[in-house]
Amino acid sequence: MWITAYFNNNIGHATGLSPIVIIRTLETGILAASGTMTEIGDGFYKFEFFGYDITKNYTVLCDSVTLPLAYRYKGSSSGEWGNIINNIGLVSDNVDFRVNLVRKIWKNRLILKDGGVQNLTVYEDDDVTPIIKWDVTDLTDDLISQGRYNSSRRTRGV
């Protein structure tokens, strides 16, 4: 996973820097990686995070120690995909599960039920095992109530 950051100063793009990146596991605070970022150009810098695990959440701090305090730090965190992957029980094994997850959301069997709590379900490739459930309401945030002929199911591959 690439960590990127943009640094500027009171004039414009900050170039010629050697920012330091510090990545910690959010749940434990343990240092996951650190190092010096490489300049890309136009104030952008990058760092390749080889130990990235999509099932974990991280905090990222980029520190360009030579810039004035107002421009020195850039911070970020991860988490949304990690939480989804953990909830559906996948394990990171150097495979990017995001692509597979998006494919399943777009292609696999889907059922929308009346109500507004856990009423949209996307199924695994076996068409039986649910992998994700969402709370879905209509445009006015009211509960879903389908008419007799409304389409509320999608079969796999359609």
Q: Taking a C-beta distance cutoff of 8 angstroms, is the pair 109, 156 a contact?
A: yes
Question: Mind listing the domains of the chain with CATH numbers?
Answer: 2-81 (2.60.40), 96-154 (no CATH)
| Weakest mean pLDDT among 25-29, 31-35, 91-95 | 91-95
Amino acid at 124: E
Question: What pLDDT is recorded for position 42?
Answer: 93
Amino acid at site 41:
G
Asked if 5 and 74 touch (Cβ cutoff 8 Å), the reply is: yes
pLDDT-derived band at 41 (thresholds 50, 70, 90) equals very high
HSE-CB at 148 with a 13 A cutoff on CA atoms is 0
- Res. 36 pLDDT band, cuts 50 70 90: very high
pLDDT at 46 over 60: yes
Q: Quote the percentage of the chain above a pLDDT of 90.
A: 28
Residue 110 makes CB contacts below 8 A (sequence gap 6+) with 120, 121, 122, 123, 153, 154
Rg (CA), the chain: 21
Model pLDDT, residue 151? 60
pLDDT recorded at residue 94:
43
Would the pLDDT of 85 be above 80?
Answer: no
Task: Give the pLDDT mean for 86-104.
Answer: 57
Average pLDDT, rounded, for the chain: 80
